[in-house]
Chains A and B, each alone.
Chain A
Amino acid sequence: MADEVLTAPLVLEYPFTRTTGPVIGGFLTGLREGVIHGVRRSDGTVMCPPLEYDPITAAPLSELVAVGTVGTVTTWTWNGEPRAQQPFAQPFAWAMITLDGADTPMLHAVFVDSADDMATGMRVEVVWREEREGHITDIAGFIPAVASSTGEPAAMPSDVEQIQSVRTPIRMEYTYTPGRALSQYLRAMKDKRILGDKCPETGEVSVPPRGVSSVAGKPTLPELVDLPDTGYIESFNITRVPIKMRPDLTPPYVSAWIVLDGASVGFMGLGMNVEPEDVRVGMRVRAVWKPDDELEMSAQNILGWEPTGEPDEVITDYARVGRLEQGGGQ
């Protein structure tokens, strides 16, 4: 029976802060003050939301025009299962809405109880968020317009601070699966074993395994090979500046390129139980493992690499991979 597929949660977050320029910044400044602006296009029509260029003629645009807060739905769909980062947790409609005074529609959410309450051509009005910062979500969404709503643009206060930048963070969640070779590597890690994979043509061994040989352009051999947890430092650096994302690393510390005995390529590891000044190229090292009861299917089982005290390796050849072009391996 095949092993169960290994999975791990993976979250990517990008804390983007984007500069706006005067047109988008002007629009966002307006939102903060409760006024929606479009921009006058080359043909005299008004595009809302505004861009600093005409998407059809490429002419630069700059004349902001206040538009209404009531508009007309030009098309819509029902979002029955809202997703985490969308404007509303309850089911809502997505709609393209052309605000009075504008000639192009904008995308936003319409809050109604069901799809039966939606129709193309219906009139909707803005619902403002109470706390506004100059962001598209200052508009909480739209609701069906009540007859008394005129949607006349409010007066834009003068001398307000212009929005120069906007936060648009992105968060995406994945379920990572490591594939054939890395899955075997990770399972072996739990038993304090280090596996590499072998090129079918040259016999070169890669660790961590990647499933393919870049020299041959072929899958590596299905059977992975056990490597010892000893090797040598091929190169290193000493970091003296703290890294924000790694508060656990106290400078100065050593990042070393470790080549295991029997491997053809190296990988990055932390120097341990050694003064940075004593580290040298060729120094023999062995893995420092986590305690046995803390072992997981993770490369983090190896905390770092400490000197063995053996005589240094004499390095004569850095280019172990790629001998094919020079007529084969050893």
Chain B
Amino acid sequence: MRDIAVVAFSQRQEAMINTESEVEFMVPLMNEAKDAVGLTQQEMGFTCSGSSDFLAGQAFSFVMTIDGTGPVPPISESHVEQDGAWALYEAWVKLQCGDIDTAFVYSYGKSSPGSLRDVLATQMDPYYVAPLWPDAFAIEAMAARQMLEQGVVSEQQLAEIASRSRAHAASNPHAVRTTPKSVDEILAEDYAMAPLRPSDLPASSDGGAVIVLAADDKARELCDRPAWIRGIDHRSDAHTLGVRDLTTSMSARIAAEKAGVGNDKIDIAELHAPFSTSEAVLTKALGLGEDTVINPSGGAQAAHTMMASGLIRIGEAAQRISRGDADRAVATAASGPCLQQNLVAVLEGE
């Protein structure tokens, strides 16, 4: 296996970006990441992106966004209809093949033009579930009730998660829900989708992120302290809600084992947990303890950019390692209803 590291990261998240098209707001981010390591597009061994045209209803937006990379002469590239973390995984595999030393990964989501809660209904079973148009919050709320009634988590604990997300987000310029709220204030909120309160739900945002990966000595040349990907794995639970135990995550637990999360102390965890309940599930599945700082950025609850939130978790974790704030971190990315799919990456400094 080659040693592969995150060597550059850029991001933008706002509650709504309505004065720029996707490619218009991605190009500055792409160039910020390229400039950070002094590479041009033609010097990137591979380019992989993640997005979904259903979010903005903009057909072929992902093709237009490739134009933003400057793909002249033509570049080696690929696209996944997934969070950018899966694009990063594809790039990591490509780097492992050994014929390239750098890869350029980006993803973005602009869900403000549509109704994200309805758009996400279309990812459900097309025969039995999608025709009823259950929205994404309702599905998570049903999982939340099972967790509460089975004693997996308490409303107090959910409020603590939501309160901490706000507190951490206050110092993150890319978060959109940054006003502090105490646990008591959150417990006093009326239910939004019972038993979930407004603070338990993700703060939806538009935006995107870019990561540059590099292998071995190339990474050391491009970055003072690369964030080495020491383990990465992704797993998927069944699509059918009725056969899943929604109070836990088998896919996250197995991916964490394969990625080696438990092999050593974890300083920080950036978890792709859109809901307070998702964080409770992931913390348990990854076996994280009191000595790990969870979501120092505020996490996906404080700014949830569909298709980019997972990649941003990896970037946030890598940035803290490169700055020297942490030596060992874990980042997760999720996809599908109730954390159906999970990707887990362990990052370390040298």
Contact = CB atoms under 8 A, between A and B. Distances in A.
Interface in A45-83: 47-49, 51, 55-56, 74-79, 83
B21 interface: yes
Contacts of A180: 19-21, 24
A211 interface: yes
B113 A177 contact: yes
Nearest to B149: A120
Contacts of B292: none
B133 A85 contact: yes
B119 to A, nearest CB: 6
Given A109-B132, A322-B72, A211 B141 contact: no
Contacts, number: 183
Interface residues of B, number: 62
B127 A24 contact: yes
A55 B239 contact: yes
B238 A55 contact: yes
B113 A136 contact: no
B24 A181 contact: yes
Interface stretch (B25-33, B90-98, B178-186, B264-272): B25-33
A87 interface: yes
Contacts of B58: 176
A175 interface: yes
Interface string B47-75: 00000001011100000100111111100
Nearest to B195: A77
B35 to A, nearest CB: 11
Main SS of chain A's interface residues?
A: mixed
Contacts of A325: 72-73
B171 to A, nearest CB: 29
Nearest to A106: B242
A168 B128 CA distance: 10
Interface in B146-176: 146, 149
Given A107-B241, A136-B132, A215-B72, A174 B57 contact: yes
A212 B27 contact: yes
Given A10-B57, A174-B57, A321-B72, A218 B21 contact: no
Interface of A: 2, 5, 7, 10, 12, 16, 18, 20, 24, 28, 47-49, 51, 55-56, 74-79, 83, 85-87, 94-96, 104-109, 115, 120, 135-137, 166, 168, 170, 172-183, 210-219, 321-322, 324-325
**CB-CB nearest 7 A-B residue pairs:** A217-B70, A179-B21, A77-B141, A214-B67, A104-B242, A174-B57, A55-B238
14 contacts: A28-B127, A51-B240, A56-B238, A77-B196, A96-B242, A120-B145, A179-B24, A181-B24, A210-B21, A212-B27, A214-B70, A215-B72, A217-B27, A321-B72
